[in-house]
């Protein structure tokens, strides 16, 4: 069963909130992980690890650097669900 | 070279089996309470671990720290951060140049929860599920590093490892940083979070833990003839050390002076103390020499005393040999009877106790001594606190570790 984009955003927001302490509603599609959410590379890899687990997808390391915004991540995860 | 500088204590913090802060821990110690309790787990059934109790932390870090802090710090670092925040506030949040501020926080064993949970993750779920923060969480310098981040300590962040002497050695190093002029203020202490089934099983295998499962609160009984081993504890304690000039310039409240550090190694056996106690005596002698004190000045000793027969008596024989007849007026306290053994946190917590004892002129009690060992030849404070004399006094905190590490710290009144 595939997750909808809304479900992916919601799940990702929960993961980011757990990792950073930010409120879930701060995690919006247009937000940059580094510039807006102040997430460093270790935290980003932690978020990726949890997201892979939660959505049963694989996000290769070379893709992670292309995930600038929350929206990029939602789009990638949605497309990676087969 | 300039003369060594005087070092004072201007802040204390702790989270322990007796309380979530230094004040409640000290109050419980003066009241003779035990921090030991039955484990809330099934390790005995699941793994056959023969010990079913320990001195677990009184206030869980989850009640104090933000959730992201819990997730990125091993419990040993969590305890250290809780103690640091308290101590730093207690010192009045000193204004100090980061280049003149140090952090020295030790653990005896390191981030073992993180290490073992990482191994569980790898075996059960594979490398792809390993969390990226695993290494910075498990490394033994993690508490020191996080404390340096917390307070902005740029003069140096250090983690000296010497098993159960680690917390005292950290404070000793902090004293040296200030004496030598490297820093004006140092946050120093120790922490440990090893109440995990693997280390418990390992300590049990070495036959060093008390098996008094039917009486957890009565199990830690240093100097009682019926002692049968130590009670594992957990927690952290830190002190804010400051040069006397720096503290005076900002009008800080001073608890006591940390006037001497004595270090030695037995080079005798990996776990057993040298029965002649030469290394222990050297450590105490060096601490007194640095403090400019003599045997006659010593009024109180917080003993390492873990509640093992050979360890407890080796120490008191060392005290008797070093101090001679002057040992007759020393009030000896074995506070592990109440706190259990915090391993890398023990030397720091007992330094906090010794500082408070000198400040309040009150030696904390030793509990559970129903029948004092006839070979104990130093006056023991039993069940209720004992008053220390007025005037200039010296107290010693002894800490010894597996490996033959000996650390003695000399505390004098401000």
DSSP letters of B329-377?
A: G-EEE-THHHH-B-GGGHHHHHHHHHHHHHHHTEEPPB---SSB-TT--
Catalytic residue among B196, B341, B359, B405: B341
The reply to whether B62 falls in a domain is yes
User: Do B152 and B242 lie in a common domain?
Assistant: yes
* B39 and B153 housed in the same domain: yes
Please indicate, yes or no, whether residues B19 and B52 belong to a single structural domain of this protein: yes
Q: Residues B392, B361: contact at Cβ < 8 Å?
A: no
- Residue B106: the pLDDT is 98
B405 is catalytic: no
Backbone phi and psi for residue B313, each to the nearest 5 degrees, phi listed first: -75, -30
Q: Is residue B218 within 8 Å of residue B375, measured between CB atoms?
A: no
Residues of A with CB under 8 A from a CB of B: 18-21, 42, 45-46, 49, 52-53, 58
Contact residues, chain B to chain A, C-beta under 8 Å:
66-68, 71, 128-133, 136
Q: Are residues B66 and B185 in the same domain?
A: yes
Domain boundary among B195, B215, B249: B249
All residue ranges of chain B with pLDDT < 70 are 1-2
My answer on whether B57 and B90 are in the same domain is yes
Measured between beta carbons, which residues in chain B are less than 8 angstroms from residue A45?
132
Among the partner residues A18, A46, A52, nearest to B128 by beta-carbon distance: A52
Is residue B239 a part of any domain in this protein? yes
- Domain identity same for B401 and B265: yes
User: Measured between beta carbons, which residues in chain A are less than 8 angstroms from residue B130?
Assistant: 49
Residue B132 and residue A45: Cβ atoms within 8 Å?
yes
Closest Cβ–Cβ partner in A20, A46, A58 for B131: A46
- Are B238 and B337 contained in the same domain? no
Is B255 a domain residue? no
Q: What are phi and psi of B129, to 5 degrees?
A: -95, 0
**Whole-number Å distance between alpha carbons of B308 and B271:** 12
Chain B's closest residue to A20, CA to CA, is B68
* Final residue in a domain of this structure, among B224, B249, B274: B249
For residue B276, the tally of other CB atoms under 10 A from its CB is 14
Q: How many CA atoms lie within 13 A of B319 on its CB side?
A: 35
Using one digit for the tens of pLDDT, what is the confidence trace for B219-228?
A: 999 999 999 9
Q: Looking at B249, B275, B297, which one is the last position of a domain?
A: B249
B369 within some domain: yes
Q: Which residue of A has its CA nearest to B133?
A: A42
What is the least distance, in Å, from the CA of A34 to any CA of chain B? 17
Which of A21, A47, A56, A59 is most worth mutating to test chain B (most B CB atoms within 10 A of its CB)?
Answer: A21
- Residue B180, domain CATH: 3.40.47.10
**HSE value, Cβ hemisphere, 13 Å, CA-based, for B379:** 16
H/E stretch holding B287: helix B278-291
Give the C-alpha separation, A70 to B310, whole Å: 62
Between vectors from CA B21 to CA B16 and to CA B23, what angle results, nearest 5°? Answer: 115
CA-to-CA separations, B199 to B46, B65, B70, B209, in angstroms, rounded: 15, 25, 21, 11
Q: Angle formed by the axes of helices B112-125 and B75-90, to 10°?
A: 150
Q: Residue B327: phi, psi to the nearest 5?
A: -65, -20
- The total domain count for chain A is 1
pLDDT of residue B213: 98
Give per-residue pLDDT as tens, B267-282: 999 999 999 999 999 9
Beta bridge partners of B260: B410
Contact B93, B378 (CB under 8 A): no
Closest residue to B71, CB basis, from A19, A53, A58:
A19
Which of A21, A42, A53 comes nearest B132 by C-beta? Answer: A42
Residues of B in contact with A20 (CB under 8 A): 68
Same domain, B240 and B274: no
User: B405 pairs with which residues across the strands?
Assistant: B265, B401
Which one is catalytic: B164, B246, B300, B405?
A: B164
Residue B124, domain member (yes or no): yes
Angle at alpha carbon of residue B120, lines to B117 and B124, rounded to 5°: 145
Reply yes or no on whether B377 is catalytic.
no
- Measured CA to CA, the distance from residue B83 to residue B67 in angstroms comes to 17
Domain span at residue A42? 5-80
CB proximity list for B155: less than 8 A, separation 6 or greater:
B98, B99, B100, B101, B102, B177, B182, B183, B186
E-only strand ranges, B235-356: 235-243, 256-265, 298-302, 331-333
Q: What is the CATH number of the domain that holds A40?
A: 1.10.1200.10
Q: Name the residue of chain B whose CA is nearest to A19's CA.
A: B68
Number of domains within chain B: 2
Share of chain B above pLDDT 70, in %: 100
* Contact yes or no for A42 and B136 at CB 8 A: yes
Domain that holds residue B202: 7-249
- Strand-pairing partners, residue B8, are B242, B257
**CB contact (8 A) between residue A42 and residue B128:** no
Nearest chain B residue to A59 by CA: give it. Answer: B128
B194 and B267 part of one domain: no
Cross-chain CB nearest to A46 (options B67, B128, B133): B133
Residue B2: per-residue pLDDT: 67
Residue B230 to residue B294: CA distance in whole angstroms = 32
Q: For residues B145 and B111, state if they share a domain.
A: yes
Q: How far is A69 from chain B (nearest CA, A)?
A: 20
Residue B269 is among the residues annotated as catalytic for this protein: no
Residue A82 predicted with pLDDT over 80: no
Looking at the structure, tell me whether residues B237 and B282 fall in a common domain. Answer: no
Q: Examine residue B254 and state whether it is found in any structural domain, yes or no.
A: no
Please list the residues that pair with B256 across neighbouring strands: B9
Predicted local confidence at residue B348, as pLDDT: 98
Q: Rounded to an integer, what distance in angstroms lies between the CA atom of residue B111 and that of residue B119? A: 13
Please give the torsion angle defined by the CA atoms of residues B300, B305, B309 and B313, in that order, rounded to the nearest 10 degrees.
-30
Question: Could A42 and B68 be called an inter-chain contact, meaning their C-beta atoms sit closer than 8 Å?
Answer: no
């Amino acid at each position: 069963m595939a997750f909808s984009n809304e479900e992916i955003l919601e799940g990702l927001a929960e993961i980011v909130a757990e990792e950073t302490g930010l409120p879930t509603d701060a995690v919006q599609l247009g937000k940059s992980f580094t510039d807006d959410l102040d997430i460093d590379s270790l935290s980003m890899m932690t978020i990726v690890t949890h997201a892979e687990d939660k959505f049963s997808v694989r996000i290769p390391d070379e893709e992670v650097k292309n995930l600038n915004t929350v929206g990029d991540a939602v789009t990638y995860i949605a497309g990676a669900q087969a | 070279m300039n003369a060594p500088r005087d070092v004072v204590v201007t802040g204390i913090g702790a989270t322990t089996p007796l309380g979530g802060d230094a004040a409640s821990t000290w109050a419980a110690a003066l009241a003779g309470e035990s921090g030991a309790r039955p484990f809330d787990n099934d390790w005995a059934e699941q793994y056959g671990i023969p010990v079913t109790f320990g001195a677990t932390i009184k206030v869980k870090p989850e009640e104090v720290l933000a959730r992201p802090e819990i997730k990125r710090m091993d419990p040993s670092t969590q305890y250290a951060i809780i103690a640091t925040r308290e101590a730093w506030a207690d010192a009045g949040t000193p204004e100090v140049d980061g280049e003149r501020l140090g952090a020295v926080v030790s653990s005896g064993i390191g981030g073992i929860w993180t290490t073992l949970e990482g191994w569980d993750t790898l075996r059960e779920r594979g490398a792809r599920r390993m969390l990226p923060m695993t290494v910075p969480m498990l490394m033994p310098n993690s508490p020191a590093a996080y404390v340096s981040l917390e307070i902005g300590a740029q003069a140096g962040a250090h983690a000296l490892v010497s098993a159960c002497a680690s917390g005292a050695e950290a404070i000793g190093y902090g004293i040296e940083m200030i004496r030598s002029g490297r820093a004006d203020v140092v946050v120093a202490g120790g922490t440990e979070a090893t109440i995990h089934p693997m280390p418990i099983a390992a300590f049990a295998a070495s036959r060093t833990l008390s098996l008094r499962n039917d009486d957890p609160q009565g199990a830690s009984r240093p100097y009682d003839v019926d002692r049968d081993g130590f009670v594992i504890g957990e927690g952290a304690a830190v002190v804010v050390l400051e040069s006397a000039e720096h503290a005076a310039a900002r009008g800080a409240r001073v608890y006591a002076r940390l006037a001497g550090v004595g270090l030695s190694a037995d080079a005798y056996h990996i776990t057993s103390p040298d029965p002649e106690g030469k290394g222990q005596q050297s450590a105490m002698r060096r601490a007194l020499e640095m403090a400019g004190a003599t045997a006659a000045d010593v009024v109180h000793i917080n003993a390492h005393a873990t509640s093992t027969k050979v360890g407890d008596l080796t120490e008191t024989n060392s005290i008797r040999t070093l101090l001679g007849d002057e040992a007759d007026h020393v009030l000896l306290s074995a506070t592990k009877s109440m706190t259990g053994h915090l391993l890398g946190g023990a030397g720091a917590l007992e330094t906090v106790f010794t500082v408070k004892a000198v400040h309040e002129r009150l030696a904390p009690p030793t509990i559970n001594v129903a029948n004092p060992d006839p070979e104990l030849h130093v006056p023991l404070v039993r069940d209720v606190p004992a008053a220390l004399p007025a005037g200039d006094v010296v107290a010693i905190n002894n800490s010894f570790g597996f490996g033959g590490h000996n650390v003695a710290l000399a505390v004098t009144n401000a």
